[in-house]
């Protein structure tokens, strides 16, 4: 029992050190625009860009990522973790949407998809998370969460989704079969 406790403490210290290093090395960018998500069914959402204020993340090197119309589940966080602070599937909504967009580009072979790797997509997600965390008034997140999510989106199941995920896209002009159950809108940066 004591050996397991020591191993757990050592692992926690190692993780904490890796998380701090990853966070320090992660650059921030500029996040702006509206995130509009239509809730269609439990765990089934459509991200719909706002024509007047599209969600946009500009990386520190000037690279612009503007997500388009797509299906999303927010953060693909296993349900048992949802009860833990910082592990909500929507707690970092803009970061998850930007990350999902890079996966969607890859799966649908959209223009520019070949410029991204799964590792770069993970880095971009970390950058958006850090940008959110360092925005005044955003009181959510931790360095450990950023690092754990960065690592999680590069696991073998994520790699399989990156290389052989299906291209599913809502029809842009088609009327949905029914109105959404709810529509969520979040502005970034938050309006005061």
Question: What pTM was estimated for this model as a whole?
Answer: 0.86
Residue by residue, pLDDT tens for the chain (192 residues) are 444 443 344 444 445 578 889 999 999 999 999 988 988 777 778 999 999 999 999 999 999 999 999 999 888 777 777 777 777 778 899 999 999 999 999 999 999 999 999 999 999 999 999 999 999 888 888 898 999 889 989 999 999 999 999 998 887 766 666 777 778 878 877 665
- Taking the C-alpha atoms of residue 183 and residue 174, their distance in angstroms, rounded to an integer, is 18
Q: What are φ and ψ of residue 65, in 5° steps?
A: -125, 115
- Taking the C-alpha atoms of residue 35 and residue 151, their distance in angstroms, rounded to an integer, is 25
- Taking the C-alpha atoms of residue 102 and residue 124, their distance in angstroms, rounded to an integer, is 9
Q: What are φ and ψ of residue 165, in 5° steps?
A: -70, 155
């Amino acid at each position: 029992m004591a050996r397991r406790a020591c191993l757990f403490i050592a692992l926690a210290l190692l993780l904490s050190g890796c998380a701090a290093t990853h966070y320090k090395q992660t650059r921030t960018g500029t996040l702006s625009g509206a995130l509009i998500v239509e809730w269609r069914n439990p765990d089934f959402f459509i991200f719909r860009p706002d024509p007047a204020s599209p969600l946009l993340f500009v990386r520190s090197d000037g690279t612009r990522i503007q997500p388009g119309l797509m299906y999303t589940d927010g953060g693909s966080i296993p349900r048992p973790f949802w009860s833990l602070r910082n592990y909500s599937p929507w707690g970092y909504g803009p970061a998850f949407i930007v990350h999902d967009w890079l996966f969607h580009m890859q799966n649908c072979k959209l223009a520019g998809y070949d410029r991204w790797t799964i590792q770069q997509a993970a880095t971009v997600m970390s950058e958006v998370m850090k940008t959110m965390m360092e925005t005044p008034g955003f009181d959510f997140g931790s360095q450990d969460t950023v690092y754990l999510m960065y690592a999680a989106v590069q696991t073998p199941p994520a790699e399989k989704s990156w290389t052989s995920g299906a291209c599913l896209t809502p029809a842009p002009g088609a009327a949905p079969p029914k109105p959404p159950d709810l529509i969520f809108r979040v502005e970034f940066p938050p309006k005061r």
